């Protein structure tokens, strides 16, 4: 469900996902595209010549409490590929479908040490660590491979929109009190966004599984 305050972000995300499909469907394309803002930076070589490199947007540093009441930061995901999303435990609309589908990807890669999962709750009032822990167990997730995190509203909502390009908001007119997009966002080992997939769409989630393999191969070359 979307509302006018973030309709522009939804439009951007649709364009982003469509572009992603275009790239990933090309038979000759071996690498996934890199999404987000980028800028050209000129540096000088030792011999006095210059070169221009592209500097890509990366996920901003964070510090959130996880389901075990332990603070985790970006360091938890250092040298890891991970899939991130935004949800809340009392959600009655898209969250249950998203996480059932995400769990299939988790099960596929649960034994791969290079892949992790990160779910941010947007319910800053209710979803404390103890609630997240119960939710994880109900979902059938144990250990630290899939992190469920809680944080202050401003920090969670800012990282959602600025780093992951995902719209989240409170909405008193919605029966659940919150509205958010259902993207599963693929992040590489360099903290860059490499894909966004509709977590409610089984075909899109299947594509995510395939693209994780593509990304792993990219780092192993």
Parse the chain into domains and list their residue ranges: 4-33+59-220
Res. 180 pLDDT band, cuts 50 70 90 = very high
Comparing CA positions, the residue from 158, 154, 176 lying closest to residue 167 is: 158
Beta bridge mates, 85: 119
Residue 27, number of CB atoms within 10 A of its CB: 5
Residue 48 backbone zone (phi > 0: left; psi -120 to 50: alpha; other: beta) = left
pLDDT surpasses 70 at 5 = no
Cβ-based burial of 156 (10 A; exposed 0-12, middle 13-18, buried ≥19): buried
The token duo for 181 is 């997009």
The answer to which of 30-44, 125-139, 194-208 has the lowest mean pLDDT is 30-44
For position 30, what pLDDT does the model report?
Answer: 65
The token duo for 136 is 């994880």
What integer is the mean pLDDT of 114-122?
98
* CA dihedral of 220, 32, 60, 41, whole degrees rounded to 10: 90
End-to-end distance of the chain based on CA atoms, in angstroms? 40
Query: How much is the pTM?
Result: 0.84
* 4-33+59-220 CATH: 3.40.30.10
Of residues 59 and 15, more confidence is placed in: 59
What integer is the mean pLDDT of 22-51?
72
């Amino acid at each position: 469900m979307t509302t006018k305050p973030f309709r522009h972000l939804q439009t951007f995300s649709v364009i982003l996902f469509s572009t992603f499909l275009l790239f990933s469907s090309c038979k000759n394309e071996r690498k996934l595209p890199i999404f987000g803002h980028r800028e050209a930076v000129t540096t000088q070589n030792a011999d006095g010549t210059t070169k221009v490199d592209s500097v890509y947007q990366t996920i901003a540093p964070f510090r959130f409490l996880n389901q075990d009441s332990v603070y985790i930061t970006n360091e938890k995901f250092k040298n890891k590929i991970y899939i991130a999303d935004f949800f809340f435990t009392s959600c009655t609309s898209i969250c249950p479908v998203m996480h059932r589908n995400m769990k299939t990807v988790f099960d596929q890669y649960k034994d791969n040490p290079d892949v992790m999962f990160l779910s941010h709750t947007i319910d800053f009032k209710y979803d404390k660590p103890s609630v997240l822990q119960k939710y994880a167990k109900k979902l059938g997730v144990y250990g630290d491979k899939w992190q469920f995190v809680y944080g202050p509203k401003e920090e969670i909502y800012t990282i959602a929109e600025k780093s992951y390009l995902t719209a989240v908001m409170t909405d008193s007119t919605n029966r659940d009190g919150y509205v958010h997009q259902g993207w599963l966002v693929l992040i590489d080992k360099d903290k860059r966004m490499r894909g966004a997939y509709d977590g409610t769409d089984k075909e899109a989630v299947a594509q995510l599984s395939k693209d994780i393999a593509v990304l792993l191969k990219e780092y192993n070359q």
